[in-house]
Every structure is written in structure tokens, then in C-alpha cells.
Chain A
Amino acid sequence: KAGVTQTPRYLIKTRGQQVTLSCSPISGHRSVSWYQQTPGQGLQFLFEYFSETQRNKGNFPGRFSGRQFSNSRSEMNVSTLELGDSALYLCASSLGAVMNTEAFFGQGTRLTVV
């Protein structure tokens, strides 16, 4: 079955712009999580959605937001981009209905802010 699909794979944006990233989870998975990976901070949790509801949020400013649609696809948005937002953004999907379920990651979107 198809894995987790993230689009686009690469993005270059200018400071001050906004960006929307997309994640399609594995069929049947209802939980989608987003993570940011940078050389300095490593892998950090952004937020998690289950059945269109945000269940958990990491310690990121309000410029980072997300949503999940009824088909479980998720988008994350970053407004007023800063140079420090340059990172690899990874999306993970899991069954999510109960705890202790395995997470599967997409290939990521590499965002460069110039």
C-alpha cells in the first residue's frame, strides 16, 4: 500500500512570505503529526491531528499552524517566514485511535528561506 506522501519535496521562499505544506497519510491512518528537523535543534514535534482535531502541540510560535481534513490529509502553514524556519519538515502517520501505534514518516519537505 502507498506510504506517506508529502508535497512539495523542495521549496524556496523569501523572508516574510508564507508557505503551505501537504501530507497524505497511509490509507486508514487517522493521526498525522508534523516534525521540524534542523541541524541545531534536531527533530522537534510541531503538532498532531486526529480526526480533524488537534490533540497536541509542540513549543512553536503561532506562525506555525495546521489542519486536518475529513480524508485525514493534513496541511501545515508557516506565515511570515524567517530564515530560521529553513528546515526539513517531516510528516508522520499512524492509526492513532489508541496509544502505542507505530508511526510512519514521509520523505519530507525541505524548506529554504532566503
Chain B
Amino acid sequence: GIQVEQSPPDLILQEGANSTLRCNFSDSVNNLQWFHQNPWGQLINLFYIPSGTKQNGRLSATTVATERYSLLYISSSQTTDSGVYFCAVEGTGANNLFFGTGTRLTVIP
């Protein structure tokens, strides 16, 4: 299957700071999604972004499919942004997502 690497594995920020999370993948993909896992375990959809750039409030994401990476930007971070962020990709001909190991973000007040 496709290998998905996320960096950094852990990130600690002061409230108000900006951050960039990176996702590298090993093969061509049809689908790329970013999720935030809440404390109860549910994966919350942030972006469906197989290519291009999207923005949603303080969050934005960019995927450069030809170079096999995606970036998630969080601006003016808040304590509620804390949690684990996952990148997941779907390969060509597949019907399932391959997940990275996540970035654990801690925002301190």
C-alpha cells in the first residue's frame, strides 16, 4: 500500500501561533483528506483536497499531487485546536484510505 508520512510527530505551540503540518505520500493518489481526531476518537473532516488549495477560516490546506505532498496550515492557533491531525490518502484503484501516523498538536494558553 501507499506509505504516508506526517511531520512533525509532535508540536507544542503557544496560543496565537501559526503552524504547518506536512504529509508526504509515496505514490499517486486519487483522494487526500485531512482529519482532526477529537478527544472522543471521532475523526472530524477538515479538508478533502486531492489537489490545489482550500481555506476554511483559520485553516487552509495545499496539496501538490505531482510532488506527492500536502500541507495543513493553522493560523492563530487556539487551545481547541489541540488533538491529533491525520492525513489520509486513497490510491489509484483502491477503495480505502491509508493513514499517516498523525501529528499531535498541543496548544498552550
Contact = CB atoms under 8 A, between A and B. Distances in A.
A and B co-occur in one complex? yes
Contacts, number: 62
A45 interface: yes
Given A99-B90, A100-B30, A102-B33, A45 B42 contact: no
Interface string B93-107: 111111101100000
B45 interface: yes
Contacts of A72: none
26 contacts: A31-B95, A33-B95, A33-B97, A35-B99, A42-B99, A42-B102, A43-B86, A44-B99, A45-B96, A50-B95, A56-B94, A58-B96, A88-B41, A92-B97, A96-B95, A99-B31, A99-B92, A99-B93, A102-B45, A102-B48, A105-B35, A105-B42, A105-B43, A107-B40, A108-B41, A110-B41
